[in-house]
């Protein structure tokens, strides 16, 4: 977090909650922007927007007035846990045949065969 964000948060922010990743969510005191309260997140670690879980995303974007309660934020049996975007990291998904995985994969029935004109 840069100095300006830290100072603004210190003087104007009211802590609303913290998610499971350690991100802290704030609302502004009094001053509104386009008749809406100001809402922001202070990321824990690297500032990456994909680290915001769905229940906090809808609050940040004024879809709901109040943040979800702990009971509402509990995941259902069919839900997967939230993961930030891992592209560009060592944990990024690499499909079979990717250059970083050796560039080879098994042939499958639907593989493309390039047309070559008879000479």
The residues spanned by each domain of the chain are 3-74+82-101
CA dist 51 and 73 (Å) reads: 15
CA dist 22 and 44 (Å) reads: 5
DSSP per residue, 20-56:
TT--EEEEEEEEEETTEEEEEEE-SSS--GGGS-HHH
Percent residues over pLDDT 70 in the chain = 92
Mean pLDDT, rounded, of the chain: 83
Could you say which DSSP state residue 82 is in? P
Once rounded to an integer, what is the mean pLDDT over residues 51-73? 81
CA dist 80 and 112 (Å) reads: 34
Q: How confident is the model at residue 47 (pLDDT cuts 50, 70, 90)?
A: confident
């Amino acid at each position: 977090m840069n100095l300006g964000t830290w100072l603004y948060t210190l003087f104007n922010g009211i802590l609303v909650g913290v998610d499971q990743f350690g991100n802290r969510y704030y609302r502004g005191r009094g001053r509104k922007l386009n008749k809406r309260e100001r809402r922001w997140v202070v990321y824990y670690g690297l500032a990456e927007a994909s680290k915001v879980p769905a229940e906090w995303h809808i609050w940040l974007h004024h879809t709901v007035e109040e943040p979800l309660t702990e009971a509402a934020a509990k995941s259902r049996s069919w839900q997967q846990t939230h993961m930030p975007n891992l592209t560009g990291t060592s944990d990024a998904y690499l499909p079979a045949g990717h250059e970083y995985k050796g560039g080879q994969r098994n042939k499958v029935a639907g593989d493309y065969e390039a047309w070559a004109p008879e000479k």
